[in-house]
Chain A
């Protein structure tokens, strides 16, 4: 059984640029959630996808967008990057929308 994998693990972007982060969900899981974790803070919910449909969104602006593919993998896209977007971005997959979530290793984004 493969776990949740994310790519890239580290990346550096310039303010104003766009970034796409990728997530492969755990085998058998149809739900993917994305979280942003700033240094020293707990993860903050960005949005969730259940069977390719958005199933809830946290308090993040529209420049944060996502998609889930038929194989349940997912991408997080952030436009017009700001310095405050620097964080660890975590993807979590689960069997159902409100069951236990298992996290990937994260993508560390630095905006300069």
Chain B
């Protein structure tokens, strides 16, 4: 069964304290791994897509990496405005198949000034 597990469930950081969020997955044929940011009561905001092991993508203080079993979202020198829930999702299956996303439960990040 395709599955996504995120850790930790919650993470509290001081402003400027760098850290990483983990997303481990087991899927039958990974087509893509996605990171989203979600603020309370809002829809997920797209951050990154990673397609193959070794791939890395960066956006401001965020950097996403991918291996064959997991992905990391590295946050460098976070600011209070980075506080949100970060969701990881995978898309699995054959080319041309439905593109449903399988989500983890998310990591709730709090950054204190």
* Contacting pair B99 A101 (CB below 8 A): yes
Residues of B contacting A106 in the complex (Cβ-Cβ under 8 angstroms): 41-43
Q: Which of A41, A43, A105 contacts B101 (CB 8 A)?
A: A43
* Contacting pair B43 A90 (CB below 8 A): yes
Residues of A contacting B105 in the complex (Cβ-Cβ under 8 angstroms): 40-42
* Contacting pair B104 A33 (CB below 8 A): no
Residues of A contacting B42 in the complex (Cβ-Cβ under 8 angstroms): 105-106
Closest to B44 in A: A103
Cβ distance B52 to chain A, nearest Cβ, rounded Å? 15
Residues of A contacting B32 in the complex (Cβ-Cβ under 8 angstroms): 98
* Contacting pair A96 B99 (CB below 8 A): yes
Closest to A55 in B: B98
Closest to A33 in B: B100
Residues of A contacting B101 in the complex (Cβ-Cβ under 8 angstroms): 33, 35, 43, 45, 92, 101
Cβ distance B76 to chain A, nearest Cβ, rounded Å? 24
- Interface flags for B80-113 (1: CB within 8 Å of A; 0: not) read 0000000101010101111111111110000000
- Interface flags for A42-56 (1: CB within 8 Å of B; 0: not) read 111100101000011
Residues of B contacting A94 in the complex (Cβ-Cβ under 8 angstroms): 99
- Interface flags for A77-102 (1: CB within 8 Å of B; 0: not) read 00000000000101010101111111
27 contacts between A and B (CB under 8 A): A31-B99, A33-B99, A33-B100, A33-B101, A35-B101, A42-B4, A42-B87, A42-B104, A42-B105, A43-B44, A44-B103, A48-B98, A48-B100, A90-B44, A94-B99, A97-B96, A97-B98, A98-B31, A98-B32, A98-B91, A98-B95, A98-B98, A101-B46, A101-B99, A101-B101, A105-B43, A106-B42
Give me the interface of A with B, judged by CB distance under 8 Å.
4, 6, 31, 33, 35, 40-45, 48, 50, 55-56, 58, 88, 90, 92, 94, 96-106, 108
Given contacts A42-B4, A56-B100, A101-B99, 4 further A-B contacts (CB under 8 A): A55-B98, A98-B95, A101-B101, A103-B44
